[in-house]
Structure 1
Amino acid sequence: MILDAHGDYTIDGVSVRSLPKVSLHDHLDGALRPATVIELADEAGIDLPETDAASLADWFAERSDSGSLVEYLKTFDITTSVMQTAEGLRRVAREFVEDLAADGVVYGEVRWAPEQHLAGGLTLDEAVEAVQAGIEDGEDSIDADGGSIRVGQLITAMRHTDRSLEIAELAVRHRDGGAVGFDIAGPEDGFPPSRHRAAFDYLATQFFPVTVHAGEAAGLDSIRSALIDGRALRLGHGVRLASDLDVVSRSGDEVLVTFGDLSRWVRDREITLELSPSSNLQTGAIEAWGEELADHPFDLLYQLGFSVTVNVDNRLQSGTSLTKELALLARAFDYDLEDLQAFQLNAAAGAFLTVEEREELIELIAEGFDL
């Protein structure tokens, strides 16, 4: 693997950035450009810890690399503060789409919590409409440049508040206006999905897709609740599911593992794991296995047949891109292009699209990799 002067990575002579990618776990308030944060903060009269883009990017990276999800989440106080107007939300969403396209993403899902963007007087519906307008601006811009990208909204409720049913109803109201799924996010430990059972019950009656943050800062009970109470089709991170696997022996590339009931269910039902390698290191999600990327149970889960996908989580906080995450994994676990394609096919299969749309996406990925 070779890193070039433009920040791209080459594997077997192929640019990783040029490969078609699917992004399933990408937070809008974790993807702002530092320069945009500065400009929007200046317009709103908000003080920042740094006033030039490079220094602000370094500040976010330093504060995010704490080993604690709670501390990691505090950096979002700044990004959400500059996303309180329709104009700000529209701009951030447009730039989000443009940045995904520059990263080689052909289909993405952006998750964000409308309830955190009402301080400027917007209603929940107006906030969703502003983000959708920005998404469409970005899609049109990429189309005009000869590219193609599609992005859907994952409307998210904060798990430590009591608005999840209201947000679920909001998501369903906008299912024909860009909303493709529902999520809960925020501090995981102490706020299980079961607290939001009414919202999940409602979504089930509406046949509306659900992904749930689980198995990041909390363990197997959180994952179990996401599946039982949340009827989750995907697990946001889900990395701690690996603690339900008992590695009996290793011999070279051969690993003998005993599955727990939960991990076997997730594997056999092909429930998508939205893994985010760099973020998982920053938040301490893999502390049970080690402190380096090579310690991440990603490869174990992959080799055992779990539906693993690669995601950025928060581009700003982790200083990353999907291209970089794939390259880091390739270096850590000696993956080749066939492996990288497998991750994209898993993501396409887990996307909140119709069967026909997923099949088209799978064909697009196969053509782009052309292995």
Structure 2
Amino acid sequence: MPALNMCSVLFVGGGQREMGEEESGFVDMEWCLALPKIELHAHLNGSVRDATLLELAKDLGNKGVLVFSDVEHVIKKSDRSLAECFKLFDLIHIITTDHATVSRITKEVVEDFAAENVVYLELRTTPKTNETIGMTKSSYVEAVMKGLRAVETVEVVLSPCASTLEPEPSTSVNDASTKKKQGRIFVCLLLSIDRRETTASAMETVQLALKMRNQGVVGLDLSGNPITGDWITFLPALSCAREQGLPITLHCGEVRNPKEIKAMLEFCPERIGHACCLEDEEWKMLKSLNIPVEICLTSNVRTNSISSLHDHHFGLSKAQMFELSRGAIRHIFAQDGVKAFLNEVFDSAQTGLLWRK
């Protein structure tokens, strides 16, 4: 299972309401597993298996890079505050800084999502550099691509960015003839700008995304510790991406920051993530601009951003959860042909799911 299980659904407009007992079916795990899922807020480093992290950390401990006993409890802790999550991410950055490890965790993460019946995955990751081993942002992303090609349990299909001028066919990147493979998962990459980066570094990520927009990179993400960095630092790079037609999603409202939240909403990105700390006026602005929200149910509860699922943005019946999941297709960053295929997947699943008790 992913270490942080960053599950997300999409919410556009509407208000909050109470969830009655008859509507609590959305916590039925068997039904949730059977539901085809559109995953729009998955961090590569936030989805690494605990077992893999422990194995890699132990190996680095044996090499004297870190003290394993100091980090073991950090990895094993299941419920973390938002601040503790970023401490874990700092540890993961230390553990996953070579090409082979990046490829390995990519393979495992995609196989884990496919096992949970995710049919479309936008996987976001921050391209990293490591001069000691010759890692550049470009070679980092190639290591991610290598991991996609290594997936064994499911056919992996890449789609070009929806903003590509000439529509191009989606492409299977691994050996689809292998008998072990069951089903298909569309995987698209979002390159993330970390809030610790400089304007120049952010611009480098934008240029890399533009270069790879026909190779499975479909957009940009701004993420990282929400109390670090200043929105104005990243605005030039994000504006450049917008001018070139790259879709953008922003981590917004993870903590209270009215000035930044307002500026992000005024930028009018294609989507925002989390939106846990928006006040009424900010919600009105968001809805008036019709900006979809990636609501990260498990993440928000585990990091104590929201006290429980019942206290989240809304309560949903199974029928509403199904339509919300299907509705997310409209806001993916892939091309129209992928959207048509995904709608057929939901059409096929609808009758059985909505009649299941």
Is 1:194–1:225's contact at 8 Å kept on the other side of the alignment? Answer: no
How far apart are residue 43 of structure 1 and its match? Answer: 4.3
How far apart are residue 48 of structure 1 and its match? Answer: 5.5
Tell me, what secondary structure is at the counterpart of 1:107?
A: strand
Which residue in 1 is equivalent to 2:162? Answer: none
How far apart are residue 61 of structure 1 and its match? Answer: 5.6
Q: 2:271 aligns with which of 234, 239, 254?
A: 234
Distance change (3 Å), C-alpha of 1:70 and 1:117? farther
Greater Cα offset, 98-107 or 11-20 = 11-20
Asked if residue 137 in structure 1 is aligned to residue 129 in structure 2, the reply is no
Asked if residue 38 in structure 1 is aligned to residue 54 in structure 2, the reply is yes
Which residue in 2 is equivalent to 1:326? Answer: none
Which residue in 2 is equivalent to 1:214? Answer: 252
Which residue in 2 is equivalent to 1:350? Answer: 331
Provide, for residues 246-271 of structure 1, a one-character-per-residue CA deviation record: whole Å limited to 9, x for no partner. Answer: xxxxxxxxxxxxxx3x4234224432
Asked if residue 275 in structure 1 is aligned to residue 295 in structure 2, the reply is yes
How far apart are residue 120 of structure 1 and its match? Answer: 3.4
How far apart are residue 354 of structure 1 and its match? Answer: 1.9
Is 2:265–2:285's contact at 8 Å kept on the other side of the alignment? Answer: no
- Give runs of ≥4 in structure 1 deviating > 4 Å: 9-14, 48-51, 116-119
Paired residue type of 1:99: D
Q: 2: distance between equivalents of 1:353 and 1:197?
A: 24
Distance change (3 Å), C-alpha of 1:195 and 1:91? same
Tell me, what secondary structure is at the counterpart of 2:222?
A: strand
Equivalenced residue count is 300
Is 2:58–2:68's contact at 8 Å kept on the other side of the alignment? Answer: no
Which residue in 1 is equivalent to 2:262? Answer: 224
Which residue in 1 is equivalent to 2:192? Answer: 156
Q: 2: distance between equivalents of 1:176 and 1:13?
A: 36
Is 1:117–1:127's contact at 8 Å kept on the other side of the alignment? Answer: no
How far apart are residue 282 of structure 1 and its match? Answer: 3.8
Higher RCO (CA 8 Å, separation ≥ 6 residues): 2
Paired residue type of 2:295: L
Provide, for residues 217-271 of structure 1, a one-character-per-residue CA deviation record: whole Å limited to 9, x for no partner. Answer: 2344333222334x41100112223x22xxxxxxxxxxxxxxx3x4234224432
For structure 2, which runs of at least 5 residues remain unmatched after alignment?
1-24, 157-173
Is 2:75–2:88's contact at 8 Å kept on the other side of the alignment? Answer: yes
Asked if residue 336 in structure 1 is aligned to residue 317 in structure 2, the reply is yes
For structure 1, which runs of at least 5 residues remain unmatched after alignment?
1-8, 245-259, 300-332
Which residue in 2 is equivalent to 1:181? Answer: 219
Q: 1:21 aligns with which of 31, 34, 37?
A: 37
User: In the TM superposition, what are the counterparts of 1:21-170 in structure 2 within 5 Å?
Assistant: 21-44=37-60, 45=63, 46-47=65-66, 49=68, 56=72, 59-60=74-75, 62=77, 65-66=80-81, 69-115=82-128, 120-138=133-151, 139=156, 140=174, 144=178, 145-162=181-198, 163-170=201-208
Provide, for residues 270-323 of structure 1, a one-character-per-residue CA deviation record: whole Å limited to 9, x for no partner. Answer: 32111112322343434xxxx333222x10xxxxxxxxxxxxxxxxxxxxxxxx
Paired residue type of 2:335: T
Paired residue type of 2:246: F
Distance change (3 Å), C-alpha of 1:293 and 1:13? closer
User: In the TM superposition, what are the counterparts of 1:285-300 in structure 2 within 5 Å?
Assistant: 285-286=305-306, 291-296=307-312, 298-299=313-314
TM-score by length of 1: 0.73
Distance change (3 Å), C-alpha of 1:22 and 1:87? same
How far apart are residue 13 of structure 1 and its match? Answer: 10
Distance change (3 Å), C-alpha of 1:263 and 1:118? farther
Is 2:124–2:189's contact at 8 Å kept on the other side of the alignment? Answer: yes
Paired residue type of 1:215: G
Q: 2: distance between equivalents of 1:292 and 1:36?
A: 28
Q: 1:205 aligns with which of 224, 228, 243?
A: 243
Distance change (3 Å), C-alpha of 1:363 and 1:195? same
How far apart are residue 123 of structure 1 and its match? Answer: 1.0
Asked if residue 365 in structure 1 is aligned to residue 351 in structure 2, the reply is no
Q: 1: distance between equivalents of 2:27 and 2:302?
A: 26
Is 1:63–1:72's contact at 8 Å kept on the other side of the alignment? Answer: no
How far apart are residue 42 of structure 1 and its match? Answer: 4.3
Q: 2: distance between equivalents of 1:363 and 1:221?
A: 42
Greater Cα offset, 75-84 or 264-273 = 264-273
Is 1:21–1:365's contact at 8 Å kept on the other side of the alignment? Answer: no
TM-score by length of 2: 0.75
How far apart are residue 118 of structure 1 and its match? Answer: 5.9
Q: 2: distance between equivalents of 1:10 and 1:182?
A: 30
Which residue in 1 is equivalent to 2:13? Answer: none
Distance change (3 Å), C-alpha of 1:13 and 1:204? closer
Q: 1: distance between equivalents of 2:221 and 2:128?
A: 13
